[in-house]
């Protein structure tokens, strides 16, 4: 995998440099496929509709960027490829970012967007929560909030290279520090500090890897074996297994963070195909 950020200083100086690092990553995502992108809103939450798809089934997508960077526009290539592969439309949420709006603002925005889909008549079981990196952890946090509020549960939750443990306790953070071409502990630490402020990093809505997933819908998580967030994916799988939730955690050998962006790689094609099968099958199963 290309060393996208190899020319940047090892330790970021602060939030501006962290955002610059993420901007460099997003710039490498390539061009989006030929699907429709149009501005939209779910309740009070702005975002972007992606693809026509089937109106009765929808992905609610949360972009990555450490809770401090990114937007529906920066992630068009990834979201567009998943929409294209699945044949399902998506709403990409423009949730509020830190440090301007800190935890739990992003979670609240995700829940409000979910409520907006329900208000449009989309059954909960026809909605699949999907996200990458911080957005992957956010998808799980929103599912927790939806469950705890007694709302209709989504049909499934899927995540790509999720960041789901803001306490930064996974052994892979150190074990893979030289192998991961994109992320490092210092970048995540600064992002977490700006997002959490004085909140507990092990709060369930901040770090769903420490929560119980009892009564959750089916889950699929993909990560690269060489990325520092590999253990976050494994922890999510463990929590699902403990709660007897159907789960598939797929760790791709030799791959780094968000390897799906290198669309020519066979592993990226396999991963997106598997994710597309999951979102279609689970939305169809639980919406029927």
- Please state, rounded to an integer, the average pLDDT across all residues of the chain: 93
pLDDT band for 56, please (50, 70, 90 cuts): confident
Q: Flag whether pLDDT at 220 surpasses 50.
A: yes
Percent of the chain surpassing pLDDT 90:
88
CA-angle at 191, arms to 187 and 197, nearest 5° = 145
Which pLDDT does position 11 carry in this prediction? Answer: 61
**What is the 8-class DSSP label of residue 27?**
H
How is residue 185 written in tokens? 């502990």
- If pLDDT is split at 50, 70 and 90, which confidence band does 4 have? very low
Residue with the larger pLDDT of the pair 248 and 54: 248
pLDDT per residue as tens digits for the range 237-281: 999 999 999 999 999 999 999 999 988 899 999 999 999 999 999
Local confidence band at 2 (pLDDT 50, 70, 90 cut-offs)? very low
Which stretch of 2-16, 63-77, 167-181, 244-258 has the lowest confidence by average pLDDT?
2-16
pLDDT score recorded for residue 167: 97
Write the CB contacts of 34 (distance below 8 Å, at least 6 apart in sequence).
Answer: none
The reported pLDDT for the residue numbered 149 is 98
Q: Which residues pair with 16 in a beta bridge?
A: none
Q: Which fold has domain 15-287?
A: Rossmann fold (3.40.50)
CA distance 50 to 270: 22
pLDDT interval class at 53 (50, 70, 90): low
Q: Report the predicted TM-score, pTM, of the whole model to 2 decimal places.
A: 0.94
Name the region of 67 (left: φ>0; alpha: ψ -120 to 50; beta: rest): left
Asked if residues 195 and 238 have their Cβ atoms less than 8 Å apart, the reply is: no
Report the largest interatomic distance among the alpha carbons of the chain, rounded to a whole angstrom: 52
96-125 mean pLDDT: 97
Average pLDDT of span 177-181? 91
pLDDT at 286 over 90: no
> pLDDT per residue over 141-162, tens digit each?
999 999 999 999 999 999 999 9
pLDDT at 21 over 70: yes
């Amino acid at each position: 995998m290309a060393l996208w950020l190899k020319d940047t200083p090892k330790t970021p100086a602060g939030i501006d440099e962290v955002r610059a690092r993420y901007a460099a990553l997003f710039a490498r995502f390539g061009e989006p496929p030929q699907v429709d992108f149009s501005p939209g809103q779910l309740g009070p939450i702005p975002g972007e509709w992606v693809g026509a798809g089937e109106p009765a089934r929808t992905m609610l997508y949360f972009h990555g960027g450490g809770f401090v960077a990114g937007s529906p526009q920066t992630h068009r290539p990834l979201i567009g490829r998943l929409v294209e592969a699945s044949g399902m439309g998506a709403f990409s949420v423009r949730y509020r970012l830190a440090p301007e709006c800190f935890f739990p603002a992003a979670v609240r925005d995700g829940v409000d967007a979910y409520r907006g889909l329900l208000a449009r008549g989309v059954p909960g079981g026809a909605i699949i929560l999907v996200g990458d990196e911080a957005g992957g952890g956010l998808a799980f946090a929103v599912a927790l909030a939806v469950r705890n509020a007694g709302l209709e549960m989504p049909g499934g939750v899927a995540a790509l290279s999720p960041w789901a443990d803001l306490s930064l306790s996974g052994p892979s953070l150190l074990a893979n520090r030289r192998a991961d071409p994109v992320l490092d502990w210092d970048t995540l630490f600064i992002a977490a500090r700006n997002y959490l402020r004085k909140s507990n990093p092990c709060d369930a809505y901040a770090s769903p890897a420490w929560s119980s997933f009892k009564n959750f819908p089916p889950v699929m998580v993909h990560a690269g074996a060489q990325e520092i967030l590999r253990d976050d994916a494994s922890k999510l799988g463990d929590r699902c297994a403990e709660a007897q939730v159907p789960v598939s955690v797929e760790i791709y050998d030799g791959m780094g963070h968000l390897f799906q962006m290198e669309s020519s790689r066979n592993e990226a094609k396999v991963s997106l195909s598997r994710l597309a099968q999951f979102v279609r099958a689970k939305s169809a199963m639980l919406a029927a």
